[in-house]
C-alpha cells in the first residue's frame, strides 16, 4: 500500500474527519478548498504525470473551480452574514467524528464486498470515495447552516468525483465538461439562493425554514 | 545480553531528566533568553532530596505512599521498554498492556493523593487529569495495537526489534498516523503545551502541576523524577516507531537513538514555543482526533 | 429535427431575455411551444436515426415522454400567456401572512420556462447516460428560479429544499453512472461506451454486482427527482409554493422525465438478466409511495399540497406498474400519459381557484360551481379523472395494472393497491366536493365572471384528451405504447 494515490486517499479521509469535528466555518471552507486542489491533481497523478493537453486542462479547471471559485463564493456569502461564524451542529463534534469512524469501517467493508473488475491504482479508492460521499451526506443532514449544507454537497461531490476520476478512465471530454459546468452552476444557484435567504431572514439557519409542513 | 539489558535501564534512568533540560533550553532560545542549565532537573532533584517534607494535618497515608508508588511504577515501566536496539529487561507476551496500565496505576495514585489534600484546586486538577487520560488511553492502545498487528508480535521488545526503516516503504501512511497519535499522547501524558502548560502559575489553568502543589522535599523529587522517566519512555516508544534504526551494530543504534531522542526534545521545545495552549474545552477534541488517527491506522493495516 | 427541438426553445429563451416588450415576450413563448409541439408530432412518422455518434436519438420511449412534455408545455404556455398579463413584476400582498412581496420579472420567468423545456427535451432525446445526467441536473437548475417566482420566504424555503434535495439525488445518480461504467468495463467487451444501444447489446457481459448497485443508485437518485417516497420531501413544498403553471409542468412533465431516467437503467438491467431484481425494488418503492401519499392526502388542509401528494401517489403507480411487468407495463405507460394530462389540468384549475379565492386552504373555498362554473366543472371532472373513475383514462390504465396483477397471482399486492386507492378516493372526495359545492362566501369580492377563455380552455383541452384516452385510444398511440411496453420487458 505504498504509492501517492494511497497517500491522497488517506489525506481525503483525514480532511473529511476534520470537517466533521471542526467548529469554525471559515476553516471548513478552506479545508474543502484544499481537498479540491488535491483532487484536481489526482487525474494527473493517476496517469503518471504525463502532461496530455486535455488532462492538464481538466486538472486546471477542477483546481480553479474547487480550489478557488467555490471557496471564494462561500467566503463571500459568509462575509456578508451578520451571524455567528460557528458551524452550529445538530450532532456534536465528538459524536460526529465517532460516527465518522463507524461510517469509515462500514465503507471499508462495503469496498471489500464490491471487487473491481478492472485493476485500480489503489485498493483504497472505492472505500474512501464511499466514505467521502457519506461524510458529505452526514454534513448535510447534521448541520444547520445553509453554507454548511452547500459544503456538505461539495464534499459529497468530491467523493463522487474521486470515484469517477480514479476508476472511470475513458470518460469523454464532453461529459467531463458537462459535469464541471453542472456542479459549477449548481453551486452558483445555491449561492444566489443563499443570498436571498440571507436577505429575507437575516440569517442562514435552515432550521428556521420550517413553515412548510405536512 | 544481560549487560545490554541493564545498559538500557541505566541509560533510561540516567538520561531521563536531561530531556526536560533540552526542552527548556530550546524554549529559552526561542524566547531569546539564556535559560536554565541543561542539568537543572538533576540539581532540583538533588536539592529536594536533601530537604525535609512538610505534611498537612488533613492528609492521610495515601499522600505519603503516592510518590513512592509513582516512582516504582515508572521504574517497572522502564524495564519493559526497549531502546535503540537494546532489549528490555523484562519481556513477555502482552506486556504492552501492562505498560499502558502501569501508568494508569500511577495516575490513579496521583489523583488519590491530590484528592487526599482536600484542596478544591487539586480536586479540579484531578478531574481534568482523569477526563483527558480516558481519552488519550485509547489513542495509545489502539496505536500500539496497529503496530502489533503489523509486526505480528504483542510483546513490546519483539515488536520494536522487528521494525526497521523498511516499514516506511510498506506501510508509510499508517505509520505517519500512529506517529502523530502517539505524539499527541506524549504531549498529553507529559502535560506539555498545547494540552497543559507546565510553567503556569495560575492554579485555575493547571492540570498536572496543580495536583502536586502540596508535595515537598523528597516526595516532590520522586514525583519529578518519575515524570521525567515517563517522558523518556513515551519518547522511546515514539522514536522506536517513527525512526526504527536497526543496523545490527549496537553502538551505532544507541547513538542514533540518543540523537533522535535529543531531536524529539528539540521538536517538543519548538512546538511549545510556537503554539498557544488550547482552550480546555478543545482538548478533548484533539484527543478524540488522536484516537481517530490510531483507529484509521489500524483500519489501514487490517485491510 | 432533434436539433430543431433543442434549439427552438433555447433560442426563444435567449430572445425572451433580450426583448423589452412584455406582450412580444409572451408571443415568443407561445410560438416556441407551438412549433415544438408541431415538430414533435411530425417526429411520429419518421424513423429514428442516431445523431452525434449515437448520443442523441429519438427512440420509442423518448418519443412517448417527449410528446407528453410537449403537449403539456403547449397547454401551460397558453395558460401562462394569460397568467403573465397581470402577475409579473408586481408588488402584492401575501394572502396568508399579509406581507408584501414582488414577483420575479417576466423575462426571467419566460426564459426559465423555455430553458426548462430545452432541458427536458434533452433528457428525452439523449441516449448517452452521461448526457442524460447532465440534462437531468439542468432541469433542476432551470426550474429552481420558477419555484421562486413569488419572492417571499415560503417559496424561498421550497426552492432551497428543492435545490438541495434534488442536487443530492442527482449526485447519487451520477455515482450510478460511474458504477454503470465500471459494470461495463469487463475485459471481454470491446466497446466500452455509455450509449444505451451498445450497453443493451453487451448486456450479458456486464458485471452483475456493480450493475445492481448502479440500478439502486439510479432508482434512489432519479427517484428523488421523480418523487418516490421516502425521497419525495421536496415535492409538496415546491408544488404548493410555485405558480400553478410551474406546478403543472413539474408534476406532468418533469417527474415523467425522471422516471424515464430510471426506465433507461432498467432497460440495461433487463438486457443483463436482472429484471427480477429491479422489478422487486420498483414494486417496493411504488407501494411505499402510494401508501405514504394516501396517509398525507387524508385530512390534507391545503388543496395544492393535496395535488402534490397525489403526484407522489401516481409516480408510485408508475413504478408499481413497471415492477409488476407483463401487461402492467403497458398500463404504466398509458398511466404516465393520463396522469400528466389530468394533473396538469387540475393544477391549472387550482391556479384559477387560487386567483379568485386568494387562499390555498381547502376549508375556506366553497361554491366554485356558482362563482366560476367552467372552472368548477373542470375541477369536478379532474377529481373523477384523477381518482380513476370511468370513463376517464386513468381508470383504464389502473384497471390494466390491476388486471395484470391478478393474472400473475399477486393478489396481495392487488388488494393493498385497491384498498389504498379507495382511501385516497375518500380523502380527495371530501376536499374536492366541498370546494366545488356549497354556497359562496359573501365577503368575497369577485368580478362578474372570473372565468376567461385563456384560463379555462387549456385545462379543458387536457381534460378532453384524457377523456378520449379513456374511451378510445387511437391506433398510433396504442402501437407506440405497446412498443414502449415491449422495450421495457412487458407487452
CB < 8 Å to B170, chain A:
1-2
Q: Is the peptide bond before C230 cis (omega within 30 degrees of 0)?
A: yes
Distance from CA of C363 to the nearest CA of A (A): 16
Consecutive H or E run containing C91: strand C91-93
Average pLDDT over chain C reads: 88
The residue extents of the domains of chain C are 280-491
d(CA A76, CA A147): 11
pLDDT digit string (tens) for C415-453?
A: 999 999 999 999 999 999 988 888 776 666 666 667 788
d(CA A148, CA A138): 11
Out of A146, A156, A185, the one facing C171 most closely (by C-beta) is A156
| Cβ proximity of A140 and C164 under 8 Å | yes
CB environment A148-172: b (16+ within 10 A), e (fewer): bbbbbbbbbbbbbbbbbbbbbeebe
3-state DSSP of chain B: CHHHHHHHHHHHHHHHHHHHHHHHHHHHHHHCCCCCCCCHHHHHHHHHHCCCCCCCCCCCHHHHHHHHHHHHHHHHHHCCCCECCECCCCCCCCHHHHHHHHHHHHHHHHHHHHHHCCCHHHHHHHHHHHHHHHHHHHHHHHHHHHHHHHHCCCCHHHHHHHCCCCHHHHHHHHHHHHHHHHHHHHHHHCCCCCCCCCCCCCHHHCCCHHHHCCCCHHHHHHHHHHHHHHHHHHHHHHHHHHCCCCCCCHHHHHHHHHHHHHHHHHHHHHHHHHCCCCCHHHHHHHHHHHHHHHHHHHHHHHC
| Mean pLDDT score, C108-129 | 92
Contact between A17 and B289 using a beta-carbon 8 Å cutoff:
yes
Q: If you write DSSP's letter for every residue of C54-82 in order, what string do you get?
A: TTB---HHHHHHHHHHHHHHHHHHHHHHH
pLDDT digit string (tens) for B13-72?
A: 999 999 999 999 999 999 899 888 999 999 999 999 999 888 988 889 999 999 999 999
CB < 8 Å to A171, chain C:
130, 181
CB < 8 Å to A108, chain B:
299, 303
pLDDT in tens, chain A (214 residues): 446 778 888 889 999 998 988 888 888 889 999 998 988 888 777 776 666 777 788 788 888 888 888 888 888 777 766 555 676 788 888 888 889 989 998 998 888 887 776 666 677 888 898 999 999 999 988 887 777 888 888 898 888 888 877 766 655 555 666 666 667 667 766 777 776 666 666 555 666 666 665 5
Contact between B296 and A14 using a beta-carbon 8 Å cutoff:
yes
| Mean pLDDT score, C78-102 | 72
- Within 13 Å of residue C190, how many CA atoms lie on the same side as its CB? 0
Put simply, whether A173 touches C (Cβ < 8 Å) is no
Which of the residue ranges A118-122, C19-23, C361-365 has the most confident prediction, judged by mean pLDDT? C361-365
CB < 8 Å to A77, chain C:
none
Which pLDDT does position A1 carry in this prediction? 40
**pLDDT class for C259, splitting at 50, 70, 90?**
very high
C153/A29: higher pLDDT: A29
| Cβ proximity of A212 and C158 under 8 Å | yes
Which pLDDT does position A171 carry in this prediction? 58
Out of A14, A98, A105, the one facing B299 most closely (by C-beta) is A105
Which pLDDT does position C91 carry in this prediction? 66
Residue with cell 492540570: B207
| Mean pLDDT score, C161-169 | 87
CB < 8 Å to A115, chain B:
none
Put simply, whether B288 touches A (Cβ < 8 Å) is yes
Exposed, middle or buried: residue C454 (CB in 10 Å: 0-12, 13-18, 19+)? Answer: middle
Whether C11 has a pLDDT exceeding 50, the answer reads yes
Distance from CA of B236 to the nearest CA of A (A): 26
**pLDDT class for B246, splitting at 50, 70, 90?**
confident
| Mean pLDDT score, C231-236 | 90
| Cβ proximity of A152 and A167 under 8 Å | no
Region label for B216, one of left (φ > 0), alpha (ψ between -120 and 50) or beta (otherwise)? beta
Out of A182, A189, A206, the one facing C134 most closely (by C-beta) is A182
Out of A1, A21, A101, the one facing B300 most closely (by C-beta) is A1
CB < 8 Å to B172, chain A:
2, 7
Q: Which three cell numbers stand for residue C204?
A: 450479458
Helices then strands (H, E): number in chain A?
A: 8, 0
Contact between A117 and C187 using a beta-carbon 8 Å cutoff:
yes
Any contact of C with B, at least 3 CB pairs below 8 A?
no
Q: Which three cell numbers stand for residue A148?
A: 454548511
CB < 8 Å to A146, chain C:
160
Closest CA to B282 of B180, B151, B182, B132: B132
Residue C298's contacts (CB-CB under 8 Å, 6 or more residues apart) are C423, C424, C426, C427
Contact between C182 and A170 using a beta-carbon 8 Å cutoff:
no
Which pLDDT does position A206 carry in this prediction? 62
Can you say whether the dihedral through the CA atoms of B78, B81, B86, B89 is positive or negative?
A: positive
d(CA C252, CA B237): 68
Out of C134, C207, C240, the one facing A178 most closely (by C-beta) is C134
Residue with cell 515488536: B159
- Chains contacting chain C through 3 or more C-beta pairs under 8 A: A
| Mean pLDDT score, C364-382 | 89
CB < 8 Å to A132, chain C:
none
Which pLDDT does position A168 carry in this prediction? 63
Which pLDDT does position C287 carry in this prediction? 94
| Mean pLDDT score, C285-292 | 94
Least confident of A189-193, B72-76, C327-331: A189-193
Which pLDDT does position A124 carry in this prediction? 82
Which pLDDT does position B169 carry in this prediction? 75
CB < 8 Å to A138, chain C:
none
Which pLDDT does position C123 carry in this prediction? 94
| Mean pLDDT score, C110-119 | 94
DSSP, collapsed to helix, strand or coil, labels residue C451 as coil
d(CA A23, CA A21): 7
A92/B180: higher pLDDT: B180
Contact between A118 and C192 using a beta-carbon 8 Å cutoff:
no
CB < 8 Å to A211, chain C:
153-154, 157
| Mean pLDDT score, C242-248 | 92
Distance from CA of A200 to the nearest CA of B (A): 35
Which pLDDT does position B141 carry in this prediction? 92
Consecutive H or E run containing C101: strand C100-102
Which pLDDT does position A40 carry in this prediction? 84
- Chains contacting chain B through 3 or more C-beta pairs under 8 A: A
CB environment B68-91: b (16+ within 10 A), e (fewer): ebbbebbbbbbbbbbbbbbbbbeb
Whether C32 has a pLDDT exceeding 90, the answer reads yes
What backbone torsions phi and psi does residue C230 show, to the nearest 5 degrees?
-95, 25
Distance from CA of A92 to the nearest CA of C (A): 23
Q: How many CB pairs under 8 A join A and B?
A: 47
Query: Which residues 313-332 in chain C show a CB within 8 A of chain A?
Result: none
Contact between B296 and A10 using a beta-carbon 8 Å cutoff:
yes
Contact between C141 and A182 using a beta-carbon 8 Å cutoff:
yes
Put simply, whether B292 touches A (Cβ < 8 Å) is yes
Helices (H), C126-207: 129-147, 153-184, 196-201
Question: How many other C-beta atoms lie within 10 A of the C-beta of residue C48?
Answer: 15
Put simply, whether A171 touches C (Cβ < 8 Å) is yes
Put simply, whether C205 touches A (Cβ < 8 Å) is no
Average pLDDT over chain B reads: 88
Put simply, whether C240 touches A (Cβ < 8 Å) is yes
Out of C174, C175, C192, the one facing A170 most closely (by C-beta) is C192
pLDDT digit string (tens) for C180-192?
A: 888 887 666 666 6
Amino acid at each position: 500500500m505504498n504509492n501517492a494515490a494511497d497517500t491522497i486517499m488517506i489525506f481525503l479521509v483525514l480532511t473529511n474527519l476534520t470537517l466533521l469535528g471542526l467548529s469554525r466555518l471559515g476553516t471548513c471552507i478552506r479545508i474543502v478548498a484544499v481537498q479540491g486542489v488535491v483532487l484536481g491533481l489526482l487525474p494527473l497523478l493517476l496517469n503518471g504525470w504525463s502532461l496530455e493537453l486535455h488532462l492538464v486542462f481538466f486538472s486546471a479547471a477542477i483546481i480553479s473551480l474547487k480550489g478557488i471559485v467555490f471557496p471564494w463564493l462561500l467566503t463571500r456569502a459568509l462575509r456578508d452574514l451578520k451571524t455567528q461564524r460557528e458551524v452550529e451542529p445538530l450532532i456534536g463534534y465528538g459524536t460526529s467524528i465517532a460516527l465518522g469512524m463507524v461510517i469509515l469501517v462500514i465503507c471499508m467493508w462495503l469496498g471489500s464486498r464490491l471487487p473491481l473488475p478492472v485493476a485500480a491504482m489503489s485498493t483504497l479508492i472505492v472505500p474512501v470515495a464511499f466514505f467521502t460521499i457519506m461524510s458529505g451526506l452526514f454534513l448535510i443532514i447534521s448541520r444547520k447552516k445553509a453554507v454548511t449544507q452547500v459544503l456538505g454537497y461539495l464534499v459529497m461531490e468530491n467523493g463522487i468525483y474521486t470515484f469517477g476520476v480514479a476508476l472511470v478512465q475513458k470518460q469523454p471530454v464532453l461529459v467531463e465538461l458537462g459535469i464541471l459546468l453542472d456542479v459549477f452552476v449548481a453551486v452558483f444557484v445555491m449561492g444566489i439562493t443563499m443570498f436571498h435567504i440571507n436577505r429575507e431572514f437575516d440569517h442562514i439557519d435552515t432550521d428556521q425554514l420550517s413553515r412548510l409542513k405536512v | 545480553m544481560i549487560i545490554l539489558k541493564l545498559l538500557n535501564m541505566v541509560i533510561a534512568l540516567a538520561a531521563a531528566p536531561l530531556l526536560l533540560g533540552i526542552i527548556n533550553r530550546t524554549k529559552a532560545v526561542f524566547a531569546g533568553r539564556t535559560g536554565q542549565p541543561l542539568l537543572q532537573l538533576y540539581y532540583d532533584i538533588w536539592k529536594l532530596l536533601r530537604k525535609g517534607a512538610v505534611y498537612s494535618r488533613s492528609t492521610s497515608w495515601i499522600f505519603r505512599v503516592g510518590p513512592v508508588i509513582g516512582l516504582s511504577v515508572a521504574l517497572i515501566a522502564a524495564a519493559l521498554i526497549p531502546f535503540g536496539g537494546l532489549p528490555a529487561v523484562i519481556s513477555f507476551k502482552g506486556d504492552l498492556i501492562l505498560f499502558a496500565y502501569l501508568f494508569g496505576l500511577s495516575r490513579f495514585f496521583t489523583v488519590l493523593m491530590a484528592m487526599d489534600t482536600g484542596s478544591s484546586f487539586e480536586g479540579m486538577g484531578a478531574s481534568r487529569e482523569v477526563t483527558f487520560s480516558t481519552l488519550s488511553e485509547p489513542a495509545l492502545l489502539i496505536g500500539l495495537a496497529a503496530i502489533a498487528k503489523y509486526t505480528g508480535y504483542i510483546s513490546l521488545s519483539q515488536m520494536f526489534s522487528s521494525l526497521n526503516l523498511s516499514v516506511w516503504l510498506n506501510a508509510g501512511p499508517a505509520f505517519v498516523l500512529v506517529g502523530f497519535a502517539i505524539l499527541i499522547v506524549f504531549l498529553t501524558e507529559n502535560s506539555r503545551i498545547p494540552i497543559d502548560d507546565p510553567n503556569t502559575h495560575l492554579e485555575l489553568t493547571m492540570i498536572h502541576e496543580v495536583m502536586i502543589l502540596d508535595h515537598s522535599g523528597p516526595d516532590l523529587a520522586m514525583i519529578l523524577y518519575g515524570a521525567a522517566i515517563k517522558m523518556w519512555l513515551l519518547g522511546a516508544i515514539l522514536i522506536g516507531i517513527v525512526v526504527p534504526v536497526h543496523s545490527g551494530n549496537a553502538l551505532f543504534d544507541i547513538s542514533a537513538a540518543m540523537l533522535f531522542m535529543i531531536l524529539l526534545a528539540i521538536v517538543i521545545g519548538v512546538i511549545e514555543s510556537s503554539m498557544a495552549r488550547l482552550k480546555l474545552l478543545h482538548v478533548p477534541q484533539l484527543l478524540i482526533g488522536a484516537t481517530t488517527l490510531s483507529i484509521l491506522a489500524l483500519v489501514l493495516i487490517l485491510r | 429535427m432533434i436539433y430543431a427541438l433543442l434549439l427552438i426553445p433555447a433560442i426563444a429563451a435567449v430572445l425572451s431575455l433580450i426583448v423589452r416588450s412584455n406582450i412580444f415576450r409572451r408571443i415568443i413563448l407561445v410560438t416556441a411551444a407551438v412549433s415544438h409541439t408541431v415538430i414533435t408530432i411530425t417526429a411520429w412518422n419518421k424513423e429514428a436515426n442516431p445523431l452525434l455518434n449515437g448520443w442523441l436519438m429519438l427512440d420509442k420511449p423518448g418519443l412517448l415522454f417527449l410528446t407528453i412534455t410537449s403537449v403539456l408545455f403547449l397547454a401551460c404556455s397558453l395558460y401562462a400567456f394569460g397568467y403573465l398579463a397581470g402577475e409579473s413584476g408586481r408588488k402584492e400582498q401575501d394572502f396568508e401572512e399579509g406581507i408584501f412581496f414582488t414577483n420575479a420579472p417576466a423575462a426571467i420567468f419566460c426564459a426559465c420556462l423555455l430553458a426548462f423545456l430545452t432541458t427536458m427535451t434533452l433528457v428525452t432525446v439523449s441516449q448517452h447516460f452521461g448526457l442524460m445526467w447532465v440534462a437531468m441536473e439542468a432541469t433542476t437548475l432551470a426550474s429552481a428560479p420558477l419555484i421562486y417566482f413569488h419572492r417571499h420566504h415560503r417559496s424561498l424555503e421550497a426552492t432551497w429544499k428543492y435545490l438541495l434535495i434534488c442536487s443530492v439525488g442527482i449526485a447519487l445518480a451520477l455515482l450510478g453512472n460511474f458504477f454503470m461504467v465500471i459494470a461495463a468495463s469487463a475485459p471481454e467487451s470491446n466497446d466500452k461506451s455509455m450509449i444505451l444501444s451498445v450497453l443493451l447489446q453487451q448486456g450479458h457481459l456486464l458485471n452483475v454486482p456493480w450493475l445492481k448497485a448502479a440500478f439502486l443508485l439510479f432508482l434512489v437518485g432519479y427517484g428523488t427527482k421523480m418523487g418516490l417516497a421516502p425521497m419525495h420531501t421536496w415535492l409538496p413544498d415546491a408544488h404548493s409554493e410555485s405558480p400553478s403553471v410551474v406546478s403543472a409542468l413539474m408534476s406532468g412533465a418533469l417527474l415523467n422525465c425522471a422516471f424515464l431516467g430510471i426506465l433507461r437503467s432498467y432497460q440495461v438491467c433487463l438486457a443483463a438478466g436482472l429484471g427480477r431484481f429491479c422489478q422487486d425494488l420498483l414494486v417496493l418503492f411504488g407501494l411505499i409511495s402510494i401508501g405514504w401519499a394516501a396517509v398525507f392526502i387524508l385530512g390534507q388542509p391545503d388543496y395544492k399540497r393535496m395535488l402534490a401528494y397525489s403526484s407522489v401517489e401516481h409516480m408510485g403507480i408508475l413504478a408499481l406498474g413497471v415492477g409488476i411487468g407483463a401487461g402492467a407495463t403497458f398500463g404504466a405507460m398509458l398511466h404516465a400519459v393520463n396522469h400528466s394530462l389530468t394533473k396538469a389540468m387540475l393544477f391549472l384549475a387550482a391556479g384559477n381557484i387560487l386567483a379568485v379565492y386568494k387562499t390555498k386552504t381547502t376549508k375556506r373555498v366553497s361554491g366554485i360551481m356558482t362563482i366560476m362554473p367552467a372552472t368548477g366543472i373542470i375541477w369536478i371532472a379532474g377529481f373523477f379523472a384523477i381518482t380513476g373513475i370511468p370513463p376517464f383514462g386513468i381508470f383504464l390504465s389502473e384497471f390494466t395494472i390491476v388486471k395484470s396483477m391478478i393474472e400473475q397471482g399477486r393478489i396481495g399486492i392487488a388488494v393493498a393497491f385497491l384498498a389504498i386507492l379507495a382511501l385516497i378516493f375518500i380523502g380527495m372526495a371530501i376536499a374536492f366536493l366541498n370546494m366545488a359545492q356549497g354556497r359562496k362566501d359573501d365577503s368575497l369580492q369577485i368580478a362578474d365572471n372570473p372565468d376567461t377563455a385563456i384560463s379555462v380552455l387549456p385545462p379543458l383541452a387536457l381534460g378532453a384528451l384524457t377523456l378520449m384516452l379513456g374511451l378510445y385510444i387511437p391506433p398510433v398511440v396504442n402501437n407506440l405504447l405497446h412498443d414502449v411496453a415491449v422495450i421495457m420487458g412487458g407487452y
